[in-house]
Amino acid sequence: MLIVMRQDATQEQIDAVVRVIEEKGCRARPIPGGERVSIGVLYNKGPLDPAGFQAMAGVKEAIAVTRPYKLVSREVKPHDTVVRVGNTEVGGNRLSIIGGPCAVESESLAMATAEHVKKAGADIFRGGAFKPRTSPYAFQGLGEEGLKILAKVRETFDMPVVTEVLDLEHFDMVEQYADIVQIGTRNMQNFSLLRRAGESKKPVMLKRGMSATVDEWLMAAEYIMSEGNENIILCERGVRTFVRHSRNTLDFSAIPVVRRESHLPVIIDPSHASGYRDQVLPLARAAAAVGAHGLMVEVHDMPDFARCDGGQSLYPDQFALMCRQARAICDIFASS
Ligand code: PEP
Ligand code: MN
């Protein structure tokens, strides 16, 4: 249930509603809005009677939330969330672009790639220091050394960085260096990791599980938000299907559904969705057209020598072209 307070409700009236919710054994989550405060009721065992709340001073209405996810739903917060990341924002009308290599491989390669990424007009740099690899023999990332290189990229190019956390053990370390903590497709339902991300002060990028429904994805975001972290960016990265022409199938239809159901920003990763460089540019253009708030794309100074995902990494000039074309498409919608 969501208790919507009147515009002129006093703090005492808000506190009184919170007390009643807690006396019923539930948890109250005040949600400040532009004009009025709403209070989300969490952990209720069954349906609550709205009449009691409606009769309280300062209450405008009590609304039953019909979705299984609550805090991430538009029923609870109708307006779009814009996530502030360093000197930029994800959400709203401007297309955010995140670019960088699959993995941080060395300082010189990361710096060279970051220079291209910055020059192309991207907002955020990406790069894995801990890599989830299918094979235990494949390059696993540089670990803390990679995180230190990312910190250097941030300082040199004045760009926030996003990097993946694989497990609880390394959360504190990754959180310390990252501007956005990424939870990858393989961890979307790692509930202890989600709860830990919910305690973080850093924004979290939650990639869609490769076999997850939109509901499961939003419930995973709910885990994070229920612990108090409201800065979540969703990322569609393709789902497993029967096709062989690409690594995954980019589920464009999830974007309008997520935007209808949730106030959270949602971006698209066409690199992991396709697995092939020649598919990335057309998918990125389509992502801008379908209403994604941003793109996350792999780009490498020397893709042919990449230790990880070289075949799907763009050359720097392709990345610059992609930035121009995707932004132009986004602008058509922003201005109409
Ligand atoms: C990544 O973005 O580095 C990554 C491993 O992606 P995913 O979790 O979508 O496979
Ligand atoms: Mn990759």
Q: What pLDDT does 35 receive?
A: 85
Mean pLDDT of the chain: 96
| CA proximity to 6, closest of 41, 42, 35, 40 | 35
Is the CB–ligand 1 distance for residue 102 below 6 Å?
yes
Confidence class for position 45, pLDDT limits 50, 70, 90? confident
Angle, helices 254-261/214-226, rounded to nearest 10 degrees: 40
Q: How far apart are CA 138 and CA 229, in angstroms?
A: 33
Ligand nearest to the CA of 269: 1
| CA proximity to 127, closest of 273, 256, 306 | 306
The values of phi and psi at residue 63, to 5°, are -115, 135
The DSSP string of 33-48 is: -SS-EEEEEES-SSPP
> Token pair of 91, please?
């959400």
Q: How far apart are CA 129 and CA 144, in angstroms?
A: 7
pLDDT at 335 over 90: no
Residue partners of 95: CB distance under 8 A and separation at least 6:
288, 292, 293, 294, 295, 326, 327, 330
Among the residues of the chain, which ranges form H helices? 11-23, 50-54, 107-119, 144-157, 171-177, 191-199, 214-226, 254-261, 270-274, 277-290, 316-334
The values of phi and psi at residue 5, to 5°, are -85, 155
- Atom of ligand 1 at shortest range from CA of 164: 3
Question: 288-316 burial string, b = 16+ CB within 10 Å, else e?
Answer: bebebbbbbbbbbbebeebbbbbebbbbb
- First-to-final CA distance of the chain: 36
The residue whose CB lies within 8 Å of the most ligand 1 atoms, and thus the one to mutate among 272, 298, 300, 313, is 272
Is the CB–ligand 1 distance for residue 208 below 6 Å?
no
- In the chain, the amino acid numbered 263 is H
The residue whose CB lies within 8 Å of the most ligand 1 atoms, and thus the one to mutate among 163, 234, 237, is 237
**What digits encode the pLDDT tens for the residues 19-40?**
999 999 999 999 988 789 999 9
Kindly give the distance from the C-alpha atom of residue 256 to the centroid of ligand 2, in angstroms, as a whole number: 25
**What digits encode the pLDDT tens for the residues 165-183?**
999 999 999 999 999 999 9
Q: For residues 24 and 30, is the Cβ–Cβ distance under 8 A? A: no
- The residues whose Cβ lies within 5 A of ligand 2, an ion, are 102, 309
Confidence class for position 47, pLDDT limits 50, 70, 90? confident
Is the CB–ligand 1 distance for residue 309 below 6 Å?
no
Q: What pLDDT does 25 receive?
A: 94
Q: What residue's CA is closest to ligand 1, atom 9? A: 185
SS3 91: coil
Q: How far apart are CA 187 and CA 305, in angstroms?
A: 28
Q: What residue's CA is closest to ligand 1, atom 3? A: 102
Is the CB–ligand 1 distance for residue 207 below 6 Å?
yes
- Mean pLDDT over residues 238-260, rounded? 98
Ligand nearest to the CA of 133: 1
Q: What pLDDT does 34 receive?
A: 79
| CA proximity to 318, closest of 163, 113, 129 | 113
Kindly give the distance from the C-alpha atom of residue 236 to the centroid of ligand 1, in angstroms, as a whole number: 10
Q: What residue's CA is closest to ligand 1, atom 10? A: 185
Q: How far apart are CA 255 and CA 73, in angstroms?
A: 14
The residue whose CB lies within 8 Å of the most ligand 1 atoms, and thus the one to mutate among 207, 295, 307, is 207
